[in-house]
Amino acid sequence: MPERAKLIEQLSIKCEVEFVDPASAACLWLADTECLESLIRESDDNKFAFLLRKLLDGTLGDSIAAVSLRAWAGRGRSAAAKKRKLDTGVKQAAYSETEDKHTRSLDAKSLCKERDNDMCLITRAGVPVEIAHIFPYSLAQPNSAETLKDVWDTARFFWSIEKVSKWEEAVSGPNGTECCSNLMALWSSVRGLWERACFALKPLDISDDREKLRVEFFWLSVPSAYLERVELRTPPSTFCLNDHGPHNTRLWNCETLAPIRSGDVLTFTTRDPDQLPLPSVDILWMQWTLTRALALSGAGEAREDFHSDDDDEGH
């Protein structure tokens, strides 16, 4: 943290920016140090420094970080919620173009349920279990192409090209987000906490036979109030909480009855890594990075129009 604080102080001085929106601050404090060093070097150019200041402080509209984190939080808006907003006279034929994609989605969710034995990966609870996306379903829709490009461009701004390329490749297959490796079975309340950035999963390792994946669970600290501007040089509050989430939320392992704490290692398994692949390590790394930024920015709790990314029944 001392090295990062020093780099952010240098960037603040060079760009003459003291206050930024919470999303920019969160991304900068989580950015790769090599990217911070690159921004500092490029800020020797006064024009670049001026533009960077405008991109970070939101003078040109929403900051690039805010736009991307809002899109990531769009793991939220469901197809069912969107459908309710359409005119009731819309014909069923209007959805014919998405029929194949809908079928692929149902197939992927069925595979996920089979892989996870229809149990929550976090708590090992059964009913009611729902299927949640890791990479947001909403970002894979045709009308989100421009937003998705912005997300990737912004990610490369804060994190290495090599790292972001792995994230992008992981969701660029023929089925996009609708594949077993982008889905997890979660108890309904756990999914709600997941979508609000109350916790994140840090991938640790996957076995050589791809049948076991270990992740580390972390409760995330969420600001008590959403602020429109924060001081860039002030380090964010503690990233992680210990044995509970925001608003005193707690979870238990339903098999051992032990409380779930930050630092707990969870093991996900599959009996068939080819047909029932485990969650993608690269997608989980993207989730670990952006969900922490979302929590630090307070944007996950600030959304009042929050809905699930999947349908109301969680299928």
| Distance between CA atoms of residues 243 and 309, nearest Å | 27
| Distance between CA atoms of residues 69 and 22, nearest Å | 11
Question: For position 1, what pLDDT does the model report?
Answer: 64
Question: For position 308, what pLDDT does the model report?
Answer: 45
User: Within 10 A of 164 (CB to CB), how many other CB atoms are there?
Assistant: 21
Collapsed DSSP state (helix, strand, coil) of residue 241: strand
Residues contacting residue 281 through CB under 8 Å, at least 6 positions apart: 203, 206, 213
pTM, two decimals, is: 0.86
Residue whose entry in the numeric block shows the structure tokens 């509050």: 237
Question: For position 60, what pLDDT does the model report?
Answer: 57
| Distance between CA atoms of residues 268 and 258, nearest Å | 18
Q: Is 111 left (phi over 0), alpha (psi -120 to 50) or beta?
A: alpha
Beta bridge partners of 212: 269
221-224's contacts with Cβ under 8 Å and 24+ in sequence apart are 221/246, 221/295, 221/296, 222/196, 222/197, 222/198, 222/246, 222/295, 222/298, 222/300, 222/301, 223/22, 223/296, 223/298, 223/301
Question: For position 248, what pLDDT does the model report?
Answer: 86
DSSP H stretches of helix in 172-219: 188-195
Domain ranges of the chain: 2-75+104-297
- In whole angstroms, what separates CA 311 from the centre of its chain? 19
| Distance between CA atoms of residues 17 and 26, nearest Å | 15
| Distance between CA atoms of residues 107 and 277, nearest Å | 13
Residue 23: name the closest of 53, 67, 60, 59 by CA.
67
| Distance between CA atoms of residues 183 and 212, nearest Å | 16
Residues of the chain with pLDDT under 50: 75-97, 302-309, 311-315
